Chain A
């Protein structure tokens, strides 16, 4: 009975997928028309952003990015709720072995440069490849290096939650400012500036800095919770 149900549902899924995939038409030019020209020309001419991906992610599809950030926040919150049992008891048991002196010195040497790279990636999100998510992940990787190298290295959960909340509120605040000034959520309220300038693209730079801080705080919190799990 169970098998029959599984087979029937798989057949239904297969029929739907077949329908979708035969409709795509591989090899044909189905991107010839549509919204892509508006994106490609609009990001350079009206928004003055040289990285088209960033302009789509943060400006044209900014609401989706807000949802993405929310998903990440919910994931980190759920993980913390499951694994983080006792508060205010920091660094009770690390799951890792103690590391050698070479690793310790190397980590100390690498940590500031990783931070700098992450900050560069999310500050220059509208000029060069990368952006808030990538920069935040790089910063979290730096904290991960310190956490797995030094067993008693600890980050303050309070500070992380403050950074995260402030960054999230900044994102929503910018969106609401766009709503009140220009009648559309996440509309560009700041001047666009010049192409290839650091202060260009209006609100994109600020939003990506906020997203970078938020992602970095969330991922660092996740790693810290997983590393210092108690039984």
Chain B
């Protein structure tokens, strides 16, 4: 029973983290939130008695995927609006030239 309640709490937290990752404009925070999803999912796997899968999820989902996304953010833009602003500026320049 306690495990069922814990699983539901973890799943609700996962949904919350996923929604946060979607709505957050700061992409770094969004990536950390998606890492938290993987962390909670690995706990769910342990509760469901799949420790092998939990280890994989913890190592790949939390560490490797997150760091690769962070490297991608470091190489591009951090805020979601920044990209739009850049495109808007480019379009303005184009229309000004015309």
Give chain A's interface residues, CB within 8 Å of chain B. Answer: 51, 53-54, 95-96, 121, 129-131, 133-134, 137-138, 140-141, 144, 148, 219, 223, 226-227, 229
Give 12 A-B contacts (CB < 8 Å), ordered by A residue.
A51-B52, A54-B52, A95-B71, A95-B75, A130-B51, A134-B56, A137-B60, A141-B59, A223-B64, A223-B68, A226-B71, A229-B75
Name B's interface SS. helix
Residue pair A134, B52 in contact (C-beta under 8 Å): yes
Decide if B27 is an interface residue (CB 8 Å cutoff): no
A218 to chain B, nearest CB (A): 12
B32 to chain A, nearest CB (A): 15
Complex Cα distance A140/B60, Å? 10
User: What residue in chain A is nearest B51 (Cβ atoms)?
Assistant: A129
Residues of chain B contacted by A229 (CB below 8 angstroms): 75
Decide if B13 is an interface residue (CB 8 Å cutoff): no
User: What residue in chain A is nearest B49 (Cβ atoms)?
Assistant: A129
Complex Cα distance A134/B58, Å? 9
- What 7 additional pairs, Cβ within 8 angstroms, besides A121-B55, A134-B55? A95-B75, A129-B51, A131-B52, A134-B52, A137-B56, A144-B67, A226-B71
Residues of chain B contacted by A141 (CB below 8 angstroms): 59, 63-64
User: What residue in chain B is nearest A53 (Cβ atoms)?
Assistant: B52
Give chain B's interface residues, CB within 8 Å of chain A. Answer: 51-52, 54-56, 59-60, 63-64, 67-68, 71, 74-75
Residues of chain A contacted by B54 (CB below 8 angstroms): 129
Residues of chain B contacted by A129 (CB below 8 angstroms): 51-52, 54-55
User: What residue in chain A is nearest B46 (Cβ atoms)?
Assistant: A129
Residue pair A137, B71 in contact (C-beta under 8 Å): no
Given A96-B74, A226-B71, are A144 and B63 neighbors across the interface (CB < 8 Å)?
Answer: yes
A74 to chain B, nearest CB (A): 17
Residue pair A130, B52 in contact (C-beta under 8 Å): yes
Complex Cα distance A223/B68, Å? 8
User: What residue in chain A is nearest B72 (Cβ atoms)?
Assistant: A226
Residue pair B74, A95 in contact (C-beta under 8 Å): yes
Complex Cα distance A130/B52, Å? 5
Cross-chain contact of B55 among A96, A130, A148, A223 (Cβ < 8 A): A130
Complex Cα distance A219/B64, Å? 9
Residues of chain B contacted by A148 (CB below 8 angstroms): 67
Residues of chain B contacted by A137 (CB below 8 angstroms): 56, 59-60, 63-64
Residue pair B52, A227 in contact (C-beta under 8 Å): no
Residue pair B52, A140 in contact (C-beta under 8 Å): no
Cross-chain contact of A223 among B56, B59, B67 (Cβ < 8 A): B67
Complex Cα distance A144/B67, Å? 9
Residues of chain A contacted by B60 (CB below 8 angstroms): 137
Residues of chain B contacted by A140 (CB below 8 angstroms): 64
Given A141-B63, A219-B64, are A227 and B56 neighbors across the interface (CB < 8 Å)?
Answer: no
A53 to chain B, nearest CB (A): 5
